[in-house]
Structure 1
Amino acid sequence: MNAGESGAIYAVKLYPAGATTNSQAGVTDLFGKCMPALEEMIQQQLPLLVHGEVTDKNVDIFDRESAFINMVLQPLVNRLPQLKIVMEHITTREAVQFVTSCGEGSIAATVTPQHLIMNRNALFQNGLQPHNYCLPVLKREIHREAVFKAVTSGSKQFFLGTDSAPHEKHTKEASCGCAGIYNAPVAVPLYTQVFEQAGALDKLEAFTSFNGPDFYGLPRNTSTIRIVREPWIVPNEYHFGSSTVVPMFAGKSLDWKVV
C-alpha cells in the first residue's frame, strides 16, 4: 500500500532546515535530495505543504518569503507543474500574487489570524511584545492589506490555517524567546471579525470550512459550530501542563464568540 492509498496520509510537509521552531533537521536541498519523492507525490496526488521561507542568514528576515518564491517555489512549479502545493501561513503581497497567478487547482495558501490583523508594528508597540513574535514574522501594512484583500475576496485558493503555537509563557518571555502565537482560543472569532470588517461575512464559511477540503479532495466536515455577536474578554493565560500559555489578544475584548 502506498501513502496515497493509506487513508492516513493526505499531504507531505516541507520544512526548510531552520525555518521555524524545531525544524533544524529539515530539508537542506529540495532539488538535490527530494525530487524522486516529489515526482511520486504527483502520481499519488499528494499535495506538498511548504513553510515558504529561505533560511539564508544573508537574506533579510522580512524578505525570506519573497526570496523563497523566486529561488525555490517558482522553479519547482516550472519543473513539476502537476504538483499540488499549499503555501502555508502566507504573509506578503508577493505570495498573494504568486498564488493567484497559478490558478485554482494547483496552488493554494493558508492564512493565520495574526497575519490578517496585525502588521510588524505589533512587535514593538509599548515595548517588545514577545507574544506577537512568530515565524513567518509579521510584515509591513502593505502586505497585511494584500493578504486581507485576497482572503476576503472569496477566492477558493485561500483557506484557514491557524499555525497556532502554544509555547509556555516563560519560553516566550525569555532572552531568546520562542517563535509562535497561540491563537486557537480566538481564531474563529478573529476570522469572523476580519470578514465582517470587509463586508464579506457570506464568504466566511467557505474560507473556514470548504476551500481547504475541496483543494485536498477530501469530504467537507458535516458538523457545525455556532458563532454569535457577544462581547467577551480573552483570558490573560491558560493552564498548560505545569505552566501557562498566553493567548493572542490576551486581556482584550472581542465582539464575536463561539458557543
Structure 2
Amino acid sequence: MTNPTTLTMIRPDDWHLHLRDGEGLKAVVKDTARQFSRAIVMPNLAQPVTTVSMALAYRDRILQALQMDGKSVVEFTPLMTLYLTDNTTAQDVRDAVNCEHVYAFKLYPAGATTNSDSGVTDLFGRCAPALEAMEKLGMPLLVHGEVTDPDVDVFDREAVFIDRVMLKLRQQFPELKVVFEHLTTKNGVDYVREAPGPIAGTLTPQHLLYNRNAIFQGGLQPHWFCLPVLKREVHRQALLDAATSDSPRFFLGTDSAPHAQHLKEASCGCAGCYSALHALELYATAFEQAGRLDRLEAFASLRGPAFYGLPVNTTKVTLTRSSYTVPQTVPFGDDSLIPLAAGTTLNWTFSEG
C-alpha cells in the first residue's frame, strides 16, 4: 500500500481496556466508543470486579455514562471480565459462562500493576479448580504476564513469567484459552507464536511505537511509564513484526489506562498510558512506519473476534491522511490527564466511515 490518502476498514474492537469508574469513567468512555465497537473491560477497579453481579452493575454504569438525555450517544458494547483471585471457585466460572455479558477472567499476579493487590498468589493450587472449569467450559483467561518477585529485574519480568508460569499453565491446562496481554518482549512474541493450544496476544500502541528511551528522553517522562514497562528496541521491532504479520494470534488491545495528571506526575507515579483518545491514529502510525498499512484491518478488526468467537462488526471507520496534534491535556472528571504522546503531531486523523 503506497501512501494512501484515506484508509477505510471494518470498525475495530479494543481487546484490553481500562475505563475506571465514577467521574473518571464518564470522562473517558466516549473516547473508546467513538473509535471502537466493543471492548474487553478490565476488572481492576479499586474494589475488584469479582462476581457476575458486580460485572453487570459495572456494565450498567458504563452504558449510563454513554447516555445523554436518556439516550445512548453511540453504539458501544462493553465486554465484561471478572478478576481472578485465590478464592475464585468453579461455580464462579459456571456463573460467568451462563452470563451473556461476561467474556473472560483476568489474572493479575498480586502487586503486578494498578489495583492488583487482590491478585493471585497461588495459581496452581487454590486457583486450579477454577482453571479446570474455565478450560472445560471455554472461558478465556487473560494474563498480565509478569512475575512480581523483587529480585527479578523489572525488564525481565515478562520473560521470567513465561518460564515460571506460562509453560506450566500450558502443560496442566492444554486446552485453556489464554490471551497473553500487552506483550512487550521478543520472548513473549516467540512464545505466543509457537505455543500449543488456543493462545493469543494483544499489543498496545505504546509498545509498538516506543522503546524504553522514551521514558527518559529529556528527563523522566511519567506519561510514557506503564506496566509492563517499555523495553529495548529489539523487542519493539519484534512486537511490530508480530502485529504486521499474517499470524492470527496477535491483535489490538490498547491497555489504555487513564490516571489524573497529578497522580502520574508524583513522587511515586502511577503506571499507565492513556491512548483511547487517538488509538487508531497511533496504530496507523506504527503500521505505516513498518510499511504494512494493509495489515491494520486484520490486526484491529478481524483477529480478535475470531479468537473470542464473536461476529465481525458490520460498520466501518475511516482514517484520513491529515495532521493530528495530540492534545496536551484532556478533562478527567475534576482533574485532567495527559494522553500518550501529548503535543506531538501524527499523520492520520480518525473519522467515521
Q: Which residue of 2 aligns with 1:148?
A: 240
Specify the code of the residue in structure 1 equivalent to 2:334: S
% identical equivalent positions: 57
Q: Does 1:17 align with 2:121?
A: no
Q: Residue 179 of structure 1 is aligned with which of 271, 276, 285?
A: 271
Separation in 1, partners of 2:172, 2:215: 38
Once the 2 structures are TM-superposed, how far is the Cα of residue 128 of structure 1 from its aligned partner? 0.4
Moved more, 88-97 or 192-201: 192-201
Q: Which residue of 1 aligns with 2:222?
A: 130
Specify the code of the residue in structure 1 equivalent to 2:314: T
Superposition RMSD in Å: 1.1
Larger strand share, 1 or 2:
2
Q: Which residue of 1 aligns with 2:126?
A: 33
Separation in 2, partners of 1:219, 1:30: 32
Which whole-Å deviations, capped at 9, do the CAs of 1:188-234 have from their partners, x for residues lacking one? 01111121222222211111111111101111122222111110211
* 1:227 alignment partner, SS class: strand
Bigger relative contact order, structure 1 or 2, given CA contacts below 8 A and separation 6+? 2
* 2:277 alignment partner, SS class: coil
Please show how residues 1-259 of structure 1 align to structure 2 within 5 Å: 2-102=95-195, 106-259=198-351
* 1:202 alignment partner, SS class: helix
Once the 2 structures are TM-superposed, how far is the Cα of residue 10 of structure 1 from its aligned partner? 1.1
Separation in 2, partners of 1:251, 1:3: 42
Which whole-Å deviations, capped at 9, do the CAs of 1:133-156 have from their partners, x for residues lacking one? 000000011111111111111211
Once the 2 structures are TM-superposed, how far is the Cα of residue 73 of structure 1 from its aligned partner? 0.6
Which whole-Å deviations, capped at 9, do the CAs of 1:65-100 have from their partners, x for residues lacking one? 001000001111011111110000000000011001
Once the 2 structures are TM-superposed, how far is the Cα of residue 241 of structure 1 from its aligned partner? 0.6
* 2:296 alignment partner, SS class: helix
Separation in 1, partners of 2:300, 2:280: 8
Which whole-Å deviations, capped at 9, do the CAs of 1:17-42 have from their partners, x for residues lacking one? 00001101110110011111011011
* 2:341 alignment partner, SS class: coil
Specify the code of the residue in structure 2 equivalent to 1:95: G
Separation in 1, partners of 2:272, 2:242: 23
* 2:201 alignment partner, SS class: strand
Does structure 2 conserve the Cα–Cα contact (< 8 Å) formed by 1:3 and 1:44?
no
Specify the code of the residue in structure 2 equivalent to 1:179: A
Normalised by the length of structure 2, the TM-score is: 0.72
Normalised by the length of structure 1, the TM-score is: 0.97
Separation in 1, partners of 2:242, 2:324: 28
Separation in 1, partners of 2:215, 2:161: 23
Separation in 2, partners of 1:128, 1:146: 25
Separation in 2, partners of 1:142, 1:198: 14
Separation in 1, partners of 2:111, 2:165: 16
Separation in 1, partners of 2:282, 2:236: 15
Moved more, 191-200 or 139-148: 191-200
Moved more, 84-93 or 105-114: 105-114
Separation in 1, partners of 2:206, 2:95: 37
